[in-house]
Chains A and B, each alone.
Chain A
Amino acid sequence: MKPKILIIEDDVPTIKLFKETFPMAGFEIEILDLGKKAIAMVQEIREGKKEKPDLILLDLILPDINGIEILKEVRKYPETKTLKIYALTNYSSAESNEELNKEGIDKILVKAQYSLKELTEIMREGLK
């Protein structure tokens, strides 16, 4: 079974690139480009209407809300509490990292810092 990755990302070129790369690397992906959609998805997962993803890649700067809100929402309910979430963002500051860690993020990755190969490697490692 292919691991399921939920990607919350709004940058179109990045989305395109991920759509090309991740399925080829053996992941099944679903991409949401709005924070609201992600919140709705969390609810569906909670209600059992939707399957749990194996990993969530979370961008922080979204058009409608901050990614941290999504993280909080996921961690709030017992059904979704244990989902694995990596912050994959281009925004990193000491404050936001601190807040992410406080809310229980699993990993913080700076997007531009990794090559696609490295990124898929990190994801595979995390899914083991």
Chain B
Amino acid sequence: MNFISNLHFLIFAIIIISWSGSLYFYSNPLLLAGPEWMKITASLTIIVILELFYFIVAISNSVSPKIKVPLIASSILGLALIVGIFIIEDEKNFLTRMHPQEAIFFMLLFIYAGLGTAILFEKSLKSSLLSHSRALYTLVSFALLVVAITVLYVFLPIITGQSEYLWLGPVLAFLFLVSFIFGHSLTKEKAKRKEAESLAEEWGKLASAKDQLLLSLQHHLRTPIGPIKGYLERILEGTYGREENPVIKEKLIEIKKLVDNLYSLMENLLYIQELRVGKKSLDLEDCQIEALIKNVIEELKLEAEQKNIYLKYELAAGTGEKLPTLMLNKSMIKEAIWNLVNNAVKYTNRGGVTVKLKVENEEPQPISKWAGPRPSGKGRWLKIGVTDTGIGMEKEEIDYFLRGKLFERSAAAKKLYGPGRGIGLSIVFEFVKAHGGRTWAESEGWGKGTTFWIELPIKGSG
């Protein structure tokens, strides 16, 4: 719609300028008999009103789209017919004394101005936001132009018998255009601002509704988890009697693990939410990253062994023994590494998973557009890489993953492994971001494995 109305506006502008220019260069003095001008003015007014009415009806929603085009076409034809009748019936008519190009421009002007006004008028009826003022502005401008042109080309020549004021035509047209453009951009800007304001308001409402929802979810989800954990704890402690069947005991332990996972997943999501809204600050403590990684590997070793894949830790050559101690939120960073390693183990069926650790002293090449800029300043960076020999990722998928659609899982993962949680990466991304770091992925493509990197700033002397 915007394009069409702009196109319409452009054509309108060209016609006004050409028409008034042609009148200036070609018009003869118009000498008409006394009552002639009344007749002409009356006819012109009737034409304008009729056309406007016609256009408004034609484009309004009460008319079915099928007959809109015929209606508009017939209205244009009607105008031509009226002009034709004038020319045929009365040889002394005003219009017969015009040059042919003037007559055509005159017609086109009314058609376009009429149609444009009608469209804006119709829009203003439908939309409370956009164009009451704009439609009114156009209507008034159009009326002023018609009055000015009539005065200039009909009244003044009749009264004075001269055409010496005809040069005012193009000037008036130009002024009209300028004011139209001004009004156009002004109302457009206003409309845009209004729209932005209402969008912002809407967004604010949605955001607070979401916060509310999450807070109430928090309460409702935690409530049943408490007793579930409590009863399991008591059963396993033997409060209700010793469980003799080792299989049942094993399954109960399994259930407890799952409930704990569910709980920590939920807590992490809430944590992310609170970080995002800025309600939470990090509780930082000294952290030995190597120990953390080894800890994660220890926890996931069994799973890797069951899948018959390796899971190993590798300190990059040259990193030396002096690994820095970082100020981190231990549980968050552990959770992030755990998620990456867990994912890697899950999506690898042959080969294995390697967790690498290295320190980079200088600003390396920017990795890719999607990784985002490093926080300002040169410095030392701790990089943790999780490389697997699993299904790999296509470039588009990596892009997709980092364009913020973190809850979407890659198409290949969905195909191969069915529905599962897509939350892990989101947790990694947000937790690392909260520490001023970055997360990104590298893959040679499908089937060639993936490396996920976490990069954390090393502050102070290390």
Q: Which of A28-36, A50-58, A71-79, A88-96 is near enough to bind chain B? A: A88-96
Docked Cα-Cα span, A90 to B239, in Å, equals 25
A-B contact pairs, 8 of them (CB 8 A): A13-B224, A21-B230, A24-B239, A90-B218, A94-B274, A112-B222, A112-B226, A116-B233
Asked if A121 CB lies within 8 Å of chain B CBs, one says no
Q: Assuming A16-B227, A17-B227, is B263 touching A112 (CB within 8 A)?
A: yes
Docked Cα-Cα span, A11 to B228, in Å, equals 13
Q: Assuming A93-B215, A93-B279, is B233 touching A111 (CB within 8 A)?
A: no
User: Do B230 and A91 have beta carbons less than 8 Å apart?
Assistant: no
Q: Assuming A13-B227, A112-B229, A115-B229, is B234 touching A90 (CB within 8 A)?
A: no
Min distance, Cβ B347 to any Cβ of chain A, angstroms: 30
Please name the residue on chain B nearest to A115 by beta carbon: B233
Asked if A41 CB lies within 8 Å of chain B CBs, one says no
Please name the residue on chain A nearest to B277 by beta carbon: A94
Asked if B223 CB lies within 8 Å of chain A CBs, one says yes
The A interface is mostly helix, strand or loop, or mixed, namely helix
Among B218, B219, B227, B267, point to the contact of A14 (Cβ < 8 A): B227
User: Do A61 and B219 have beta carbons less than 8 Å apart?
Assistant: yes
**B residues neighboring A (CB under 8 Å):** 215, 218-219, 222-227, 229-231, 233-234, 239, 263, 267, 274, 279-280
User: Do B231 and A17 have beta carbons less than 8 Å apart?
Assistant: yes
Please name the residue on chain A nearest to B227 by beta carbon: A13
Docked Cα-Cα span, A100 to B307, in Å, equals 49
Docked Cα-Cα span, A46 to B223, in Å, equals 32
Min distance, Cβ B112 to any Cβ of chain A, angstroms: 59
Additional pairs, 16, CB under 8 Å, beyond known A112-B229, A116-B233: A11-B223, A13-B227, A14-B223, A14-B227, A17-B230, A20-B234, A61-B219, A90-B219, A90-B222, A90-B223, A93-B279, A111-B226, A112-B225, A113-B267, A115-B233, A116-B234
Asked if A122 CB lies within 8 Å of chain B CBs, one says no
Asked if A2 CB lies within 8 Å of chain B CBs, one says no
Among A16, A20, A24, A110, point to the contact of B222 (Cβ < 8 A): A110
Asked if A49 CB lies within 8 Å of chain B CBs, one says no
